[in-house]
């Protein structure tokens, strides 16, 4: 049985003011309430109360993973470079990897995720289809060298994550494992008390045939997702699609060149010609693995570089610079048009449909062209959904206007397929005695991110407000006075503890009742039990932290009420 946590002995230091650099609720409140402390940029120390919350989230995740037959392992965080070379991700990860060498010059990295190592473990341990399917998981510290770690424990360089992997010989088996994880994630987030949405996502560099994210709506969220108010459609904005049917472009006149001096931007061009920006074709030049590529979108829309990057992953996408125009007379800065760009790959958003006509650059300084028709005057090499999604864009499922919300990504599930199995030649002996290539799924939950998301969703003006299963204690007992109140508070705390409840008791001497009450609200345990003015009568005040409801109870009544988990 756990001991009563006495605040006179607990290592906790609460703060009245927010940290100067804190912008999000989780950063402000987890520091102020004494749950975490910053060690360095993006690196956090979990103090006693914070560690209890983190372990409670971990326990829920572990229980639900075990319930679907997952087998827990623990892989190293320090990983050999060779494994990531084999998959190609040593280069794909770029600056996000922490890279290091040992004293002999051998190269290593700190693991951001472990697909490669899990694949190698299964290759070493499993040789027959009879040993499959199998689900392996771990709950471990991961590392990513974030350029701008921020938002408290929400976006750190070191973080806690559950990653699991399914292995099977058939696509049907992969789908079954995917659905098992999906259902387990729903149970996990319901138990954690997290409001969440399941949305379609882009697999990106991970590859695979299907991908979904679990998002916790919150203003501090780094992800934007689209939600249809008319149907059940929901997707990360990077996964929202748009379809435009080809139109008959035969009625458009011939291309007409226009003298348009000093109009290198859509705004200046539209103003000069007296037209809407939506009538123009914007051509953004980017480099894809060093090769210049043009991306065409309507002039009133912006290119979503993150979305473009996900579509083209693992290729590296970056904007062109002034130096890239040197030696390229076919590329006229501010006046680029797709017609005549024979040496440049042209990617277009589906809104640039075949048969549509546009005003666009004429590939000459100070000159644009009118009636440039898709399919007549230029061809689109690839269609990709690359515009920044806006509120009101049509739902791909029913056509209603989409609404946009911010959210925190707390989970992600992938049907990986055979990408990593191919990289490591992961085969098992099949039923017919011939080698069979294994297919994989990858499933992640941000454990420390879930803590941050809970704070963002549940905190109020007074402080933290934990769901019972995740809280560092079930009840926070406050001795609001001197000897008599402290004696009663300690006595009832021991009785509650003996009844199976987790208890914090504020027995600090020399601390005013007001400070104790404020700290109890800030720390956020679901129930607050106060030994105050009626302690001599054996009467306590019970307060519900979330609703603020109060009632006076005898010691026996308080114990009965708090131990009634119904």
As to burial, measured by CB atoms within 10 angstroms (0-12 exposed, 13-18 middle, 19+ buried), residue 268 is: middle
At 159-185, the pLDDT tens digits run 999 999 999 999 999 999 999 999 999
pLDDT at 242: 85
Confidence of residue 120 (pLDDT cuts 50, 70, 90): very high
At 406-424, the pLDDT tens digits run 999 999 999 999 999 999 9
Radius of gyration of the chain (CA): 29
At 370-395, the pLDDT tens digits run 999 999 999 999 999 999 999 999 99
pLDDT at 207: 58
pLDDT at 330: 87
> What tokens appear for 46 in the block?
């979990």
Confidence of residue 566 (pLDDT cuts 50, 70, 90): low
Q: Are residues 378 and 372 in contact, defined by beta-carbon separation less than 8 angstroms?
A: yes
Percent of the chain at pLDDT above 90? Answer: 79
pLDDT, average across residues 287-302: 93
At 344-372, the pLDDT tens digits run 999 999 999 999 999 999 999 999 999 99
Contacts for 104 with CB less than 8 Å, ≥ 6 apart = none
Confidence of residue 208 (pLDDT cuts 50, 70, 90): low
Torsion of CA 330, 336, 342, 347, to 10 degrees: 140
Torsion of CA 271, 273, 274, 279, to 10 degrees: -100
Bridge partner residues of 527 (DSSP): 475, 544
Q: Of 335, 306, 330, nearest to 318 (Cα)?
A: 306
Q: Is the pLDDT of residue 126 over 70?
A: yes
Alpha helices in 382-446 (DSSP H): 419-424
pLDDT, average across residues 425-434: 94
């Amino acid at each position: 049985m756990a001991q009563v946590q006495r605040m006179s002995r607990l290592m906790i230091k609460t703060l009245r003011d927010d940290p100067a650099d804190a912008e999000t609720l989780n950063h402000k409140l987890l520091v102020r309430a004494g749950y975490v402390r910053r060690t360095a940029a993006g690196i956090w120390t979990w103090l006693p109360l914070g560690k209890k919350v983190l372990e409670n989230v971990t326990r829920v995740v572990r229980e639900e993973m075990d319930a679907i037959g997952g087998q827990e392992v623990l892989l190293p965080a320090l990983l050999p470079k060779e494994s990531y070379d084999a998959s190609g991700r040593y280069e794909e990860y770029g600056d996000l990897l922490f890279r290091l060498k040992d004293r002999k010059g051998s190269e290593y990295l700190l693991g951001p995720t472990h697909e490669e190592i899990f694949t190698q473990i299964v290759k070493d341990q499993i040789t027959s289809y009879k040993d499959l399917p199998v689900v392996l998981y771990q709950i471990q510290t991961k590392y990513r060298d974030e350029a701008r770690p921020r938002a408290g424990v929400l976006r750190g360089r070191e973080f806690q994550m559950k990653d699991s992997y399914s292995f099977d010989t058939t696509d049907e088996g992969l789908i079954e494992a995917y659905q098992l994880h999906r259902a387990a994630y729903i149970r996990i987030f319901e138990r954690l008390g997290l409001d969440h949405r399941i949305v379609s996502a882009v697999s990106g560099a991970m590859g695979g045939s299907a991908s979904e994210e679990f998002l916790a709506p919150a203003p501090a969220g780094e992800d934007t997702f689209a939600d249809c108010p008319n149907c059940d459609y929901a997707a990360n904005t990077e996964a929202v699609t748009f379809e435009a049917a080809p139109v008959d472009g035969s009625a458009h006149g011939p291309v007409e060149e226009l003298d348009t001096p000093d109009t290198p931007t859509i705004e200046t061009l539209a103003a000069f010609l007296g037209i809407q920006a939506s009538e123009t074709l914007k051509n953004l030049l980017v480099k894809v693995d060093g090769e210049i590529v043009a991306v065409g979108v309507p002039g009133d829309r912006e290119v979503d570089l993150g979305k473009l990057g996900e579509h083209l992953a693992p290729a590296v996408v970056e904007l062109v610079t002034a130096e890239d125009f040197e030696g390229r007379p076919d590329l006229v800065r501010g006046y680029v048009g797709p017609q005549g760009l024979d040496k440049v790959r042209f990617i277009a958003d589906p809104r640039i449909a075949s048969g549509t006509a546009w005003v666009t650059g004429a590939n000459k300084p100070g000159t644009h062209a009118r009636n440039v028709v898709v399919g007549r005057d230029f061809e689109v090499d690839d269609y990709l959904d690359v515009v920044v999604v806006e509120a009101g864009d049509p739902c791909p499922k029913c056509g209603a206007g989409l609404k946009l919300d911010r959210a925190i990504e707390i989970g992600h599930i992938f049907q990986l397929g055979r990408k990593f199995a191919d990289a490591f030649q992961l085969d098992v002996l099949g039923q017919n005695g011939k080698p069979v290539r294994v297919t994989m799924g990858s499933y992640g939950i941000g454990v420390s991110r879930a803590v941050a998301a809970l704070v963002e969703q549940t905190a109020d003006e007074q402080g933290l407000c934990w769901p019972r299963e995740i809280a560092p204690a079930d009840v926070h007992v406050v001795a609001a006075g001197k000897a008599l109140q402290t004696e009663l508070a300690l006595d009832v705390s021991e009785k509650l503890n003996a009844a199976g409840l987790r208890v914090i008791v504020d027995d600090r001497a020399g601390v005013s009742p007001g400070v104790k009450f404020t700290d109890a609200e800030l720390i956020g345990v679901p129930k607050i039990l106060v030994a105050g003015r009626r302690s001599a009568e054996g009467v306590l005040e019970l307060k519900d932290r979330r609703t603020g409801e109060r009632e006076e109870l005898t010691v026996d009544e308080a114990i009965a009420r708090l131990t009634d988990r119904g």
